[in-house]
Amino acid sequence: MTVKAAAAKRPMSASARKARNLNILRIAALAIIVIIVLIPFYISFLYSIKTHSDISLNRLAWPQNPTLDNYRRVINENKYVGIGFKNSLLTTIPTVVILLFATSMASYVLARNSGPFYKVMYSIFISGVLVPFQCIMLPLYMNIYNLGLVSTNLGFILARSGLQVSISVLAITGFVKGIPRELEQAAAIDGCGKFGTFWRIVFPLMMPINVTQGVLNTLYVWNDYSTAVVLLRDDSSRTLPLAQIIYFGENMSELNLAFAFFMLAMLPVLVLYLCTQRFIVSGIMSGAVKG
Q: What is the DSSP letter of 114?
A: -
**CA dist., res. 2 & res. 130, Å (int):** 66
248 strand-pairing partners: 253
Res. 21: pLDDT tops 90: no
Q: What is the DSSP letter of 198?
A: I
Q: Identify the three-state secondary structure at position 7.
A: helix
CB atoms closer than 10 angstroms to residue 136: 15
Q: Identify the three-state secondary structure at position 112.
A: helix
Q: What is the 3-state secondary structure (H, E, C) of 239-254?
A: CHHHHHHHHECCCCEC
| Residue 289 binned pLDDT confidence (cut-offs 50, 70, 90) | very low
Residue 216: phi, psi to the nearest 5? -65, -45
Q: What pLDDT does residue 55 have?
A: 76
Res. 96: pLDDT tops 70: yes
Max CA distance (Å), the chain: 89
Q: What pLDDT does residue 10 have?
A: 60
Residues in the chain: 291
**CA dist., res. 222 & res. 29, Å (int):** 31
Q: What pLDDT does residue 71 have?
A: 93
Q: Identify the three-state secondary structure at position 222.
A: helix
| Residue 12 binned pLDDT confidence (cut-offs 50, 70, 90) | low
Does the CA dihedral 48-51-54-55 come out positive or negative? positive
pLDDT, mean of residues 122-130:
89
**CA dist., res. 21 & res. 278, Å (int):** 30
**CA dist., res. 13 & res. 217, Å (int):** 50
Cβ atoms of 61 and 195 within 8 Å: the answer is: no
CB atoms closer than 10 angstroms to residue 213: 28
Residue 168's closest CA among 213, 205, 212, 125? Answer: 213
| Residue 284 binned pLDDT confidence (cut-offs 50, 70, 90) | low
Q: What percent of the chain has pLDDT over 90?
A: 44
Give the domain ranges of the chain.
76-288
Cβ atoms of 240 and 157 within 8 Å: the answer is: no
Q: Mean pLDDT of all residues in the chain?
A: 86
Q: 76-288 — its CATH code? A: 1.10.3720.10
| Residue 192 binned pLDDT confidence (cut-offs 50, 70, 90) | confident
The residue type found at 67 is: T
Beta strands in 5-134 (DSSP E): none
253 strand-pairing partners: 248
pLDDT one-digit tens code per residue, 263-279 = 999 889 888 888 887 77
Cβ atoms of 43 and 60 within 8 Å: the answer is: yes
What global pTM score does this model have? 0.81
Q: What is the DSSP letter of 113?
A: -
